Amino acid sequence: MSLKRAVECVKRHKSFIVTSHTNLEGDAIGSELAFAALLRSLGKRVTVINHDPIPGEYRFLPGIARARTMDSAPKTGFDCFVTVDCSDISRCGAVARLSAGAKEILNIDHHISNTGFGDVNWIDAQASSTSEMVYRFFKTMHKDFDRQTAVLLYTGILTDTGSFRYSNTRSATHEAAAELLRYGVKVNVIYRCAYENIPFTHLVPLVKILSTMRQDPSGRLVWMKIKRSFFKGSCGYFDFSEYVLTFARSIKGTEVAVLFKEHADTSTGVRVNFRSQGKTDVNRIARSFGGGGHRTASGCVLPGKIDGAVRKVIARVLRELK
Ligand SMILES: [Mn+2]
């Protein structure tokens, strides 16, 4: 039903800002750029603005030149503020400020923890990804895909389902992917770009991250740390989060994997990512620290130093595993 309201919202406005969350990843970029393309095909004026620039791992995506950051953004003169893949408006970072100038906020998301902050909310916690929802939006509007939008949406679905391996993969997910392939998506090329792209110079930090891996006595909980100091001397700050979380999940007996990451810049605070194999609700754990996400994948940010965050969070997860 709320898809219908989202369609009506799009129809009644002329100009849009489209944004997603901080720490951009495949689903955020794929869904925002594809949704912006859909709006443009309807004759709307659209600006895509994010808190963060597009990370190096996703520079292969088509149309990223259209994604701006706050310093080059028109701050006024639009009707509708659209967020995709954001469970809360604060997840948009500094871009959230712009929403004050909008007639309406349209919130499109698949996180079960979504706070319903929009004037119009289309939340589908069953959807694998926001990209799968934007795919459905195209279908509802009877709009055709082109190669560019197909690549964007396929990449968003691919990355949010862990390459169609996580429990959020439904038949509707494969149906969407199957149709997108008809528009010239090359699955092997996208897989290479999205995953098989670790710079050789980053093997040293990767080894350091893996050497921090610890397991609780029951073997059901595994955790790791990414410290800023690991990257000293290597250029850039390659995001190993998905790689090492995937590896931690593949350790025999793992029910919950947790990754602690210091911010890449000098700001304090620790990003914590949770993955569960299904029995443990890691959305509930993340929420108890002010974050959220999905039952099997969630995150939060803790103030202070990394070792304090590890102590607090691990104690909390162990209580949940009892
Ligand atoms: Mn997502």
Task: Name the architecture of domain 2-195.
Answer: Alpha-Beta Complex (3.90)
Ligand 1 centroid to Cα of residue 148, in Å, is 19
Q: Is the pLDDT of residue 1 over 70?
A: no
Q: Which two tokens stand for residue 147?
A: 């190669």
Q: Is the pLDDT of residue 140 over 90?
A: yes
How far is ligand 1, taken at its centre, from the CA of residue 225, in Å? 23
Average pLDDT estimate for 95-106: 95
* CATH code for residues 201-321: 3.10.310.30
Phi, psi dihedral angles at 84 (to 5 degrees):
-120, 140
C-alpha 21 – ligand 1 centre gap (Å): 10
pLDDT tops 90 at residue 237: no
One fold for both 2-195 and 201-321? no
Question: Ligand 1 center to residue 88 CA distance, Å?
Answer: 13
What is the whole-number distance in angstroms between the Cα of residue 110 and the centre of ligand 1? 7
Overall residue count recorded for the chain in this entry: 322
Distance 28 CA to ligand 1 centre (A): 6
Which stretches of the chain are DSSP H helices?
A: 2-12, 26-41, 130-140, 147-160, 171-181, 187-195, 203-211, 241-249, 282-287, 306-321
Q: How confident is residue 238, by pLDDT bands cut at 50, 70 and 90?
A: confident
Residue 317 pLDDT more than 70? yes
Cα distances from 178 to residues 31, 75, 86, 172, 181, in angstroms, run: 17, 39, 26, 10, 5
Instruction: Calculate how far, in angstroms, residue 232's C-alpha sits from the geometric centre of ligand 1.
Output: 31
pLDDT band at 232 (very low <50, low <70, confident <90, very high): confident
pLDDT for 74 equals 67
Instruction: Give the SS3 label for residue 228.
Output: helix
Residue 280, judged by CB atoms within 10 A of its CB (0-12, 13-18, 19+), counts as: buried
Ordered by start, the domain boundaries in the chain are: 2-195, 201-321
The Å distance, Cα 127 to ligand 1 centre, comes to: 9
pLDDT band, very low/low/confident/very high, at 231 (cuts 50, 70, 90): confident
Handedness of CA 127, 128, 131, 135 (dihedral sign): negative
Q: What is the mean pLDDT of the chain?
A: 94
207: CA distance to ligand 1 center in Å?
A: 28
- The string of pLDDT tens digits covering residues 170-203 is 999 999 999 999 999 999 999 999 999 888 988 9
CB of 125 closer than 8 Å to CB of 111: yes
Mean pLDDT score, 4-9 = 98
